[in-house]
Structure 1
Amino acid sequence: MNDYSVVPDRGVNGWIVKLQDVAPTETYTSRAEAIEEAERLAKENTPSRVLVYDSKLEIEEEKKF
């Protein structure tokens, strides 16, 4: 199962989509845009899940595809 994480980028004040919490794919200016991209990637690579973190790096939401 692939894990896609949406986490805040502390240095740039954007949001990062990561695969397996290691390899960043892109940085996005809005959180909604980052979540949308992570969900698109997860749907293309099922089985997958998307983990959305808040600014305190705590899991706020989990979705499975």
Structure 2
Amino acid sequence: MKQYSVVPNKDVTGWFVKIEDVAPTDEYDERDTAVEKAEAIAKENKPSKLSILDQNHEVEEERTY
């Protein structure tokens, strides 16, 4: 199962979409946009799991596809 995550950057001025918790693939200004993109990638690569982290890097939500 592939693991995807949406995490804030250091200053919480942008949001990264990460694959397998390695280097970020893309950065977005809006959290919602990053979540939408990560969701689309996760759905394309089933089975997969998406973790959405808050500004404190704590898991806010997990979704499985």
Question: TM range, normalised to the smaller chain?
Answer: over 0.9
Aligned alpha-carbon RMSD (Å): 1.1
Of Structure 1 and Structure 2, which has the larger fraction of its residues in strand? 1
C-alpha deviations, 1:1-23, integer Å up to 9, x for none? 11111000114710000001112
- TM value normalised by structure 1: 0.94
Amino acid at match of 1:34: A
Distance 1:56 1:44, change over 3 A: same
Unaligned runs of 5+ residues in structure 2 are: none
CA distance in 2, matches of 1:16, 1:41: 13
Unaligned runs of 5+ residues in structure 1 are: none
State the 4+ residue runs in structure 1 displaced beyond 6 angstroms.
Answer: none
Structure 2 counterpart of 1:31: 31
Q: What is the 5 A alignment of 1:1-65?
A: 1-11=1-11, 13-65=13-65
Q: Identity of counterpart residues, as a percentage?
A: 51
C-alpha deviations, 1:18-37, integer Å up to 9, x for none? 00111211000000000000
CA distance in 1, matches of 2:35, 2:12: 17
- State the number of aligned residues: 65
